[in-house]
Structure 1
């Protein structure tokens, strides 16, 4: 397995755990709805994910910081839109617990995030 894939998995796992943990904490401690908590979880996970991918995973691609930040934000925001829409639909129609459902969705989006980051967000300009 390549170093880049290993770093992607480590950074992605840390970001996903951040996202998931924030959602669980906000739902359980502040009684926020899972969908609103999901927004806050995504925002914090975005910071973890971008920093880790910029300085570790895709460092060798030498992307400029601000263009990479803007492109990765677009990738991440698009992923969050899919995440939130899927989450809303499945919360109302699946009968699964909110925490388990979010974990499944986060895993599903990880592959798409890697491909978009590698091929577009962190490419050299």
Structure 2
């Protein structure tokens, strides 16, 4: 029972940090796109702004990781490289090919990344 409570608590913390990260990404993406930046540039900048918050929040709040910081940063960088690739392809497909709006694009990209990040972060990046 205690393990289930711990897992549920971790999922709730992950959701809080993830939700705030997604909000930072979506608002940044919308703002940059409204300024006329190309989709790839808007996505890249919004993504980088959001992941700085994401690392700190997940390391200290979500997973309360005691792992050595350098290996965690490197694993986090690889995870986010994968996420950047996925988000770039998805943002291009949704906004430029399917002509969805910036908000819809940002929300879909964020939801996709939440699933990918949960798996990689709990199993690899912030493992104890």
- Structure 1 length-normalised TM: 0.90
CA contact (8 A) 1:34 1:98 kept: no
Range with greater deviation from structure 2 (15-24 or 96-105): 96-105
Q: Does structure 1 residue 114 correspond to structure 2 residue 115?
A: no
Residues 51-88 of structure 1 deviation map (CA, whole Å, 9 limit, x = unaligned)? 000011111x4211111111011101101101101211
Aligned length: 122
Match of 1:101 in 2: 105
Structure 2 gaps of 5+ residues are none
Aligned mates of 1:25, 1:92 — CA distance in 2:
17
Q: Following superposition, which runs of at least 4 residues in structure 1 exceed 4 angstroms of deviation?
A: none
Structure 1 gaps of 5+ residues are none
Aligned mates of 1:34, 1:17 — CA distance in 2:
18
Match of 1:40 in 2: 45
Q: 1:13 aligns with which of 3, 19, 43?
A: 19
